[in-house]
Amino acid sequence: MTSKGSRRVVITATGALCPVGNNVELAWKNLLAGNSGGGLISRFDASELPVRIACELKDFEPLDYFSQKEINRYDRLSLYALVAAEQAWQQSGLMDFSLTEPVKAGVIWASGNGGIESIEQAYQQDKEFPGRFSPYLIPRILIDTPSGMICLKYGLKGINYCPVSACASATTAFMDAYNYIKWGKADLMIAGASEAPITRINIGGFGAMKALSRQNDQPATASKPLDSNRNGFVMGEGAGALILEELEHAQNRGAQVLAEIAGAGMSNDAYHATATHPEGEGAVLAMNMALEEAGIRASALNYVNLHATSTPAGDLSELRALASLIPQADRKNVYVSSTKGATGHLLGAAGAIEGIFCVQSILDGIIPATINTENPDEQLPDGFSYVWKNPVRSANITYAMSNNFGFGGHNAVFIIKKYT
């Protein structure tokens, strides 16, 4: 047995719902095909709002997965979480395996918004029928409901909670689950995040901040990370799940190992309530922590899935931070792209989907492209192998890094490596 603190942590399954596909295989296929999840909002009447576009799930019918009674009890936040977790559970082979120590298995499931759709619905109902509230309202809106429901479904009795760090929430969940396994406090964790933020309040609020793109006439191309004409992000929704295990635990049950966790890091800008530091000082700290734990230099990274959301300031600060870690002569071997061009920005669940895309990149040897970027910003640091329009195939990827940064200065970085 390995000593606590030196235990290897591997990924044995993934599950995803996102605007370009309702499972990992379809989402990856559409991402590589350059398909966009952007469109006009159909969830509610946005005709009076300055922002009328979003990246919604396509062809997702809750009744395909849940009874009407369950749908009445849960916010979309929890429905998305349960579907993504079930996909991962099915892939993992755990349904045919008896957990000998349920207390050593748990769930860390993140979100940045919680059940905001249920809050809106309750407010409208109270206006129409004063004082009438659903008995399911509180569990529908609580941000930790998904983590508890996943544990309940699979009988997991170990660590269970919901971290919240804005748009870094999912990567925070991955980091925490990784650490608990590494420290010997867990053998198996389901980690991930879900968001169901496409509501009138959220679109209106983020729109008022000028954070969202108003390219309502061309929603499919509105999310354009790193483009000189980018004008804000496009809000997305969905969920992503990873099953993390201690290596020997996975081997003993004959699990398929998809990839290994190399390192993770977190920091804070301590700069502004919503804006990122212009030079990415906090991002540098988090990336350095992850690199140090992985035991590699930044130039050893083969792929960086950027947080780049399509906002003017945020995209540049992240690249400046990365450039400060890698001499220009070494940058040509580092591929960089932002998959938010296709998926939009899933807020607290962004890192969940992007972490899964990093796993797929390693498995298939493909670097996904940053779609919609026609005129790359001239201020971008030179030397990196930026991937525009078409994916890079037959790439040898040993290390992939996923960056996620959130309001409040939160920075979270996760490094995944090829399993050997």
Is 167 a catalytic site residue?
yes
According to DSSP, residue 329 is labeled: G
Q: Given 18, 151, 249, 345, which residue is catalytic? A: 345
Q: Can you tell me the distance from the alpha carbon of 356 to that of 230, in angstroms, rounded to the nearest whole number?
A: 25
Is 307 a catalytic site residue?
yes
The residue among 281, 264, 266 whose CA lies nearest residue 401 is 264
Q: Given 18, 151, 277, 307, which residue is catalytic? A: 307
**Which residue in the block uniquely carries the two structure tokens 């309040």?**
201
Dihedral Cα 29, 37, 77, 195, nearest 10 deg: 100
123: exposed, middle or buried (C-beta count within 10 Å: 0-12, 13-18, 19+)? Answer: exposed
Q: Given 18, 55, 167, 358, which residue is catalytic? A: 167
Task: Show the CA angle centred on residue 36, arms to residues 418 and 235, nearest 5°.
Answer: 90
Q: Which residues contact 237 (CB under 8 A, 6 or more apart)?
A: 19, 54, 55, 56, 57, 76, 80, 195, 196, 197, 198, 346, 349
Q: Could you give the 3-state DSSP secondary structure of residue 392? A: strand
Specify whether the CB–CB gap between 241 and 14 falls below 8 A: yes
Is 410 a catalytic site residue?
no
**Which residue in the block uniquely carries the two structure tokens 């748009």?**
167
- According to DSSP H, which parts of 295-349 are helical? 312-325, 340-343
58: exposed, middle or buried (C-beta count within 10 Å: 0-12, 13-18, 19+)? Answer: middle
According to DSSP, residue 366 is labeled: E
Residues assigned a catalytic role: 167, 307, 345
